Amino acid sequence: MSQAQERTTSSAAAAAPEIHKGLAGVVADTTAISKVNPDTNSLLYRGYPVQELAAGCTFEQVAYLLWHGELPTDAQLTELEETGRAQRALAPQVRAAIDLVPTTAHPMDVLRTAVSVIGASDPTAADARPEADLAKSVRLLAQVPAVIAYDQRRRRGQDPVEPRSDLGYVENFLHMTFGEVPDDVVVDAFRVSLILYAEHSFNASTFTARVITSTRADLYSAVVGAVGALKGPLHGGANEAVMQMFAEIGDADHAEAWLRDALAARRTIMGFGHRVYKHGDSRVPTMKASLDRLVDHYGRPDLAALYDRLEAAMRAAKGIEPNLDYPSGPAYHLMGFDTPTFTPLFVAARITGWTAHVMEQAAANSLIRPLSAYSGPPERHLQG
Ligand SMILES: CC(=O)SCCNC(=O)CCNC(=O)[C@H](O)C(C)(C)COP(=O)(O)OP(=O)(O)OC[C@H]1O[C@@H](n2cnc3c(N)ncnc32)[C@H](O)[C@@H]1OP(=O)(O)O
Ligand SMILES: O=C([O-])CC(=O)C(=O)O
């Protein structure tokens, strides 16, 4: 190589931008909503450890905390509950829109469509004042359970169940889905799962919501985009994929051989691994404890055995730990939800975190627009 060529190569190398594929390790902004700390395996919502919130709070209290930064007083909680309870029923046009979506479509497609119609029917959709965005967030929190319950029931050929305003959020959700409020152990496991799923800093779906908000689009558009991002199996779609995987393995005694073959085929093992946590997901022990109680309640030690054997085999083979979707999938299965409904349940919880981030982004906005390094052909021209 000539000296001139060397100079060109080294100056090109010096100018080459550092690429952060997948934005891994990039700190994109500040947030006061939650702190994910992989070093201490901890997760704080507005400063509170999520385990403490899961042990002692209702889901509505956690929603209020994420939106407002503080836990509600009794009067504030009552106001939130009453506003939500009054909005639990679906408008006829939302039901009609759901009915138009074929049942061959995934329930996440139905939910995405329903949120879009809820937004398009809201005359305040374009009102970007913080109090208007908060009201939209409360509305979505109240209506998403009705969409999920309505869709699962229509797929089963069952009539819809009307909401009950005398029930709390969690009990009413289960009532609308199953036509009855199940035993306390089930209600409590569901409550815990919703609190654990509520918020997780700049994950892919939340970041999607923030990107959309950064263009000054409305809150419903941000949530529709976030639902799309959550659907993928590398993100929220993993909870249903865990159950499909369990069905494929069938029996705990097959776990090790199944995993050996799956890894040899370079398959991704669903419910394992995490972009941020590399030594285990802070939420898993709490959800696993709820799963254990469900296993006892329903008398399903076979499911617990499969869970444990696959987890141990994955740890031995790859040193990779489960994420929250691993215990949540079988927990939702035991509660009686259909497998394709699992990711919509994640949406019901994450609506709180998404909308908190939408409001935080809007309050201190800067258009999110990273740079790219061009890797296509050099400049060229049409002939003649
Ligand atoms: C609530 C949530 O959304 S949590 C995430 C839910 N998603 C899943 O459970 C899907 C399965 N998991 C995965 O696909 C990944 O672990 C992700 C997408 C979550 C994180 O991905 P990344 O941060 O890109 O992981 P990373 O590339 O650092 O992985 C390191 C190595 O472990 C491997 N690995 C990571 N997770 C898995 C897995 N679940 N199965 C098999 N191998 C895995 C990667 O292939 C990679 O191997 P290599 O170095 O030989 O190529
Ligand atoms: O943080 C992430 O990348 C994914 C995750 O666990 C979540 O969104 O709950």
Our answer to whether residue 279 is catalytic in this structure is no
CATH classification of the domain holding 89: 1.10.580.10
Domain of residue 271, residue span = 238-333
Name the amino acid, one letter, at 297: H
How would you class 332 by CB atoms within 10 Å of its CB: exposed for 0-12, middle for 13-18, buried for 19 or more? buried
Query: Do residues 230 and 242 share a domain?
Result: no
Our answer to whether residue 325 is catalytic in this structure is yes
Q: Which of 23, 268, 354 maximizes ligand 1 atoms within 8 Å of its Cβ, making it the mutation to test the pocket?
A: 268
Per the structure, how many domains does the chain have? 2
Q: Which of 122, 325, 333, 357 is catalytic?
A: 325
What number does the ligand 2 atom closest to the CA of 202 have? Answer: 1
Q: How far is the CA of 263 from the centre of ligand 1 (A)?
A: 12
Contact 231, 108 (CB under 8 A): yes
**Whole-angstrom Cα distance, residue 60 to residue 352?**
9
In which residue ranges of the chain is pLDDT below 70?
1-14
pLDDT digits (tens, 9 = 90+) for 303-328: 999 999 999 999 999 999 999 999 99
**Whole-angstrom Cα distance, residue 197 to residue 194?**
5
pLDDT digits (tens, 9 = 90+) for 177-227: 999 999 999 999 999 999 999 999 999 999 999 999 999 999 999 999 999
Which ligand lies nearest to the CA atom of residue 36 in the structure? 2
Query: Do residues 176 and 323 share a domain?
Result: no
Query: Do residues 166 and 46 share a domain?
Result: yes
Q: What ipTM was assigned to the predicted interfaces of this complex?
A: 0.98
Express as a percent the part of the chain with pLDDT over 90. Answer: 95
Distances (CA, A) of 40 to 51, 53, 87, 198, 244: 14, 18, 40, 20, 32
Q: Which of 196, 230, 276, 282 maximizes ligand 2 atoms within 8 Å of its Cβ, making it the mutation to test the pocket?
A: 276
**Whole-angstrom Cα distance, residue 315 to residue 261?**
16
Task: Give the pLDDT confidence score for residue 14 in this predicted structure.
Answer: 55
C-beta 236 within 6 A of ligand 1: yes
Query: Do residues 281 and 352 share a domain?
Result: no
Does residue 29 sit within a domain?
no
Task: Give the pLDDT confidence score for residue 118 in this predicted structure.
Answer: 98
